[in-house]
Amino acid sequence: MSAGRNCQSEEPIYPMGVVERLTGLTGRRIRYYEKKGLIAPARSQGNHRLYSERDIARLRWIGELMNRGLTTGMVRLILEKSGQGPTGRGPEENPPLP
């Protein structure tokens, strides 16, 4: 890995089933987060969702915030304040949990 490159790959290669296993979230929950604008996965030519390592880390973080009782609106505000849009591009690390 070259210096200056993110530890988390931005290449979307993971399908929904793999992401479910890696995050512990259901496909329904992941699609809900997408509908609420918290995540924006890439799409394959066949229109299947594909996720990067960064997306997976973001989903884990979103899940943790939701488990702490935050609403999707509150999570969105935290993401916006951290400079991250729905694609997760922004600061290298997620801000600390409240």
Q: What is the pTM of this model?
A: 0.78
Question: What pLDDT digit, counting tens, does each position of 7-59 carry?
Answer: 568 899 999 999 999 999 999 999 999 999 999 999 999 999 999 999 999 99
| Chain center to CA of 78 | 13
Q: Please, which residues have CB within 8 angstroms of residue 87's CB and are 6 or more apart in sequence?
A: 40
Contact 59, 33 (CB under 8 A): yes
CATH for 16-81 is 1.10.1660.10
Residue-wise DSSP of 6-73:
-SS-----B-HHHHHHHH---HHHHHHHHHTTS---EE-TT--EEB-HHHHHHHHHHHHHHHTT--HH
67: pLDDT confidence band, cut at 50, 70 and 90?
very high
Q: Where are the domains of the chain?
A: 16-81
